[in-house]
Amino acid sequence: GKWLDSCSLENNPCQNEGYIGSKCSCVCPHGTHGRYCQDHSGDYYEGRQYVGKKVTQPGIITSPGYPELTAYPTRDSTWIMAPECFNVQLQFTDVKFYQFYPSEGKCFDGIEIRTSNMAEGEWFCEGNIRNGSSFTSAGREIIIYMEAKISVPWSKYQAEVKFVPDPHCKSSTPQPVTTTTNASILPPCIFSCPDEMGRYAHPRDCKEWVDCDHWQPYVKYCPGNLYFNPELHVCDWSEHAGCTAYPDNDCELTTVNTVMPKD
């Protein structure tokens, strides 16, 4: 954002986490192109899955500890991916979130649902999401991100995942999908520190990193559009960070040789 003023721009016009560079044009992340980084390919999403669980089968998904209510500092995310030529259909059967504050224009507790753009979606909380609320993906995937910000246990959700044929699919005829009782998910990571002190890249999330302090792992988050750079051990621009995170990766913390600046 440091070039916005010098380029006489009030807001960043770049999409998909692009930003204005020194030439007053958009600098686009890997996998995006166009004047405003508005076009993207599948490669763009692979490094941007803010995911704790991956769902690849229809069934039931829930908030952490369901049916118990969750409280701060709960953050939970789920990446739901249907087979080729199917869309994801998500229907909430039991949902409760803290109220929306119109004066501040935000939810204190809520859930973000990404049905078309996997980098950002729409936030919902009490008043604009309820039992029976249904969402369908534009493609074959949905990402949902839940966050609890108040200290009192208040929020929870349960939803049914279905895979329905994509009427616009031009590939071969899709095969039927068998419904299971519980959705197939990848459990969240439980880390073990390789050293007493250190900073490590999260193996499944480019925006997260793990701070090992006296052998105790603490998951932390990079602000804004920044990713964790495992060589410099800092949050960095996405195109410089060298992120290799992916939702299917093992939960092993890997030491990367630090790049020392030249004199």
Confidence of residue 173 (pLDDT cuts 50, 70, 90): very low
pTM over 0.75: no
In the three-class reduction of DSSP (H, G, I as helix; E, B as strand; rest coil), residue 7 is classed as coil
| Overall residue count recorded for the chain in this entry | 263
Q: Please name the residue ranges forming H helices in the chain.
A: 42-46, 238-241
Of residues 116, 171, 112, 176, the one with CA closest to residue 140: 116
> Tens digit of pLDDT for each residue in 34-82?
787 777 654 444 444 344 678 888 999 998 888 888 776 677 888 898 8
Can you name the residues that pair with 234 across neighbouring β-strands? 229
Question: Apex CA 181: angle with CA 187 and CA 64, to 5°?
Answer: 35
Q: Confirm if 158 and 57 have CB atoms less than 8 A apart.
A: no
Query: Quick one: average pLDDT of 159-186?
Result: 66
Domain ranges of the chain: 1-46, 53-165, 189-263
Contact 15, 116 (CB under 8 A): no
The structure tokens 């004047």 sit at 35
How is domain 53-165 classified at the CATH fold level? Jelly Rolls (2.60.120)
Backbone angles phi, psi at 206, to 5 degrees: -65, -30
pLDDT tens for each residue of 126-151: 778 889 999 999 888 898 888 877 66
Tokens describing residue 23: 């030439």
Pick the closest to residue 234 from 260, 200, 204, 191 (CA basis): 200
Which of 70-84, 198-212, 248-262 reaches the highest mean pLDDT?
A: 198-212
Query: If one looks up domain 189-263 in CATH, what number appears?
Result: 2.170.140.10
CA 160 to chain centre: 20
Question: Are the C-beta atoms of 182 and 59 separated by less than 8 Å?
Answer: yes
**pLDDT band (50, 70, 90) for residue 17:** low
User: Residue 189 to residues 34, 51, 57, 216, 248: CA-CA distances in angstroms?
Assistant: 36, 11, 20, 14, 11
- Candidates 3.30.70.3270, 2.40.40.20, 3.40.50.1580, 2.10.25.10; CATH matching 1-46: 2.10.25.10
